[in-house]
Each structure stands twice: as C-alpha cells, then as structure tokens.
Amino acid sequence: MKSKFKRDIQSLTDIFNFIEKFANSYQIDGSISFAINLAVDELFTNMVNYHTENPNDILISLTKQVDRIVVTLIDYEVEPYDINKSKEYDTTMPLEDRKPGGIGIHLVKKFVDEIDYTYQERNSKITLVKYLEKHHVRD
C-alpha cells in the first residue's frame, strides 16, 4: 500500500487511518501497528517541520513480507538528514536538564528493528523494518 500525504501536521489523521487500514487487512498485532504508527508519525512530523516551505507531498508505503513490515517515507527535493547520525538522546538526564528535542528520533530507534537512509537526486528515503515475531526493543 502506498499513498502521498500533504506536507501538513493535520495529515496525521489520514496517515493514522492509512496505517490502520493496512494493519486490519493483514491482521497485524496491536504492538506492531502501534510501533509503526509512532515511527511514521515522528518521521513525518520531522519532515514537515524541517521543510515547511517545500510544496511536495510525502510518499509513505507499507509492505508486509513473510516475517516483517517494511515502511518507506520519501521526502522530495529536500536537504539530506540521516537519522542514523542523529545525536543520542540521554534518557537518564534529570528533569531540570531535559529538553523536548530529540525524543522522537530516539523513540523511532527504539520501536523499529532496522533503519536505512538513502539520499539520491535530492530525495530523502527512510526505510524502516519492524519484525513481526520479535516484540523486543533495540539496545
């Protein structure tokens, strides 16, 4: 399943419905669909916030394979941003030192099993893999 979504935070409801339809059609476990939802939400929100003037829609595709769900997000005509190189979020910081930034990418890394990033012809492509059997969290 794939669909393009308007670069707007208000698209999140349509994205949620898109993921829910996919999860229902393949009878995906609730823990898996929650993880996919969160990862796509965080990455889409970042794409919207980092390129507010960009007129292009963002493509999201969901594929069920034997043992995994593969999710891709493609952001067209943007500057590169490799989330695998993002700064680690320190989850042990005391309350007074905490800042909102960086939590979303940290959660994406925790909730999915593999993250791949490619940048070609000014298009950013993020591929996420969530295994169906292992409900574990990445170290």
Q: CB of 122: closest distance to another protein in angstroms?
A: 25
Q: Tell me which residue has tokens 């295994």.
A: 131
Pairing of strands 114-120, 68-75: unpaired
Which residue's CB is nearer to another protein, number 66 or number 95? 95
Q: CB of 72: closest distance to another protein in angstroms?
A: 20
- 20 Cβ contact list (under 8 Å, min separation 6): 33
Q: From CA 108, how far away is CA 129, in angstroms rounded? A: 11
Q: CB of 81: closest distance to another protein in angstroms?
A: 16
Work out the number of other CB atoms within 10 angstroms of the CB of residue 33: 19
Which residue's CB is nearer to another protein, number 122 or number 135? 135
Contacts with another protein, residue ranges (CB under 8 A): 9-10, 12-13, 16, 30-31, 34, 37-38, 41-42, 45, 89-96, 98, 100, 103-104, 106-107, 110-111, 137
